[in-house]
Amino acid sequence: MALFNYLAKDQAGKQITGAVDAANETAAIALIRSKNLYVISLIKKERESLTEVVSDIRGVPSSEKVAFTRQLATMTAAGLPLPKSLEVLALQSSNQKMKKIITECLRDVEGGSPLSVSVGKFPKVFSPTYKALLRAGEASGKMQEILLRLADTMEAQQEFRSKFKAAMVYPIIVVITMIVVVIIMMVFVIPKLSAMYKSLNAELPLPTLILLGISNFTVNYWWLILFLGIGFGTGFVYFKNTDMGKDLLSRLIFKMPIIGKITKEKELTEFTQTFSLLIGSGIPIVEALQIVSEVVENTLYKVSLENAAKSVEKGYTLSKFLKTDENFPPVVSQMIAVGEETGSLDTIMEKLSHYFATETDNAVKGLSTAIEPIILVLLGGMVGLLILSIITPIYKLTSSL
């Protein structure tokens, strides 16, 4: 079987693009004609290149989605029809998977489907928020404005993730270096010292005996350590994707020093940004809360927002519910109460998002500084243990000579 892309006309003369699977060209034409279409052109799709395969595996990066959203807003604002805008963006995209998605969306839009329905076919690329905002833009006629706000929000969230990753580079490098040094010591250095101690019949202190035991186990049973490591890693990945695992990890992360505070503020930033964007685009509060609950990563906030949506649906105010939820600081319920009273909830949520974004940004900037003392203590402890375990017996031997 092969895939054939076609351009055809229906009985009304409207041009339609699509793709069919068929054994050969003749079979493909027969399939297209069975749909009451007249074939204009038919092209057999070639095998995917290595670049296309890699793009499919890697998926669509956030930067690609931001660029697509902003460029689509600019093109439609300039008066370019939506199908033509999508056609241009498909040609411009360097990511093969994104190119395929845009081409599929173009096909759907030309066939009469709204863009919001088409992007809904790709939930791993476009979030429920993205789909809902497109739907709101199509209904209100404010597609360009909503797309620009969406691009701004996506850029802000992407920038935060980049800053967080950059702040974590130094600690990660130090930890990896520590692990490599320990492995080298255990596999190459300690065994040589062990042979020396045996040849001298030295009496060794307990820390040295423990270190030698760990080294011998590492050298003789490295395959077991590797097997257990792979097993633990696989088990952890499976467990963290279960409901119990997600809930447990969400709670543990919040209780971690430094990282817990940053994670909580990050979740609050993304909640306020997304919620502000949704209600500012005309989406009802209950639906907006349901959408945000699907987008947030932490299960504690997911459950809180699901319950908030149910509470508002019953007639309670959002501020009243959040006031009783320990996952939200008092400033959130207080500011939302002001927004509910004044009828400017979207504006208040936008101000809240700026507040939490600033707090999170400051916390991330100080992350390396905060983690540095912990790393120094760990390094000092490791060096002290090595000195106590290795140098002390050597010192005793040289002193007795």
Alpha-carbon distance of 73 to 82, in angstroms, equals 10
**pLDDT at position 66 over 70:** yes
Mean pLDDT, rounded, for 347-373: 84
Query: Percent of the chain at pLDDT above 70?
Result: 95
Q: Where are the alpha helices (DSSP H) in 78-142?
A: 82-92, 96-110, 115-119, 128-140
Angle at 130 between CA 107 and CA 124, to 5 degrees: 75
206 has pLDDT over 90? no
CA distance 98 to 66: 12
Q: What per-residue confidence (pLDDT) applies to 57?
A: 42
Which range has the worst mean pLDDT, 43-52, 175-184, 297-306? 43-52
pTM score of the predicted model: 0.71
Average pLDDT, the chain: 84
Residue 51: predicted pLDDT:
46
Quick one: average pLDDT of 78-90?
88
pLDDT of 319 = 93
**For residue 359, what pLDDT is reported?**
87
% of residues, the chain, pLDDT over 90: 16
Burial of 234 (0-12, 13-18, 19+ CB in 10 A): exposed
Q: How confident is the model at residue 58, as a pLDDT?
A: 54
Report CA torsion sign: 95, 56, 293, 119: positive
Listed range (17-21, 103-107, 177-181, 317-321) with the worst mean pLDDT: 17-21
Helix (H) or strand (E) holding 8, with range, is strand 2-9
- 203 DSSP 8-state letter: P
Q: Among the listed ranges 11-15, 80-84, 105-109, 317-321, which one has the minimum average pLDDT value? A: 11-15
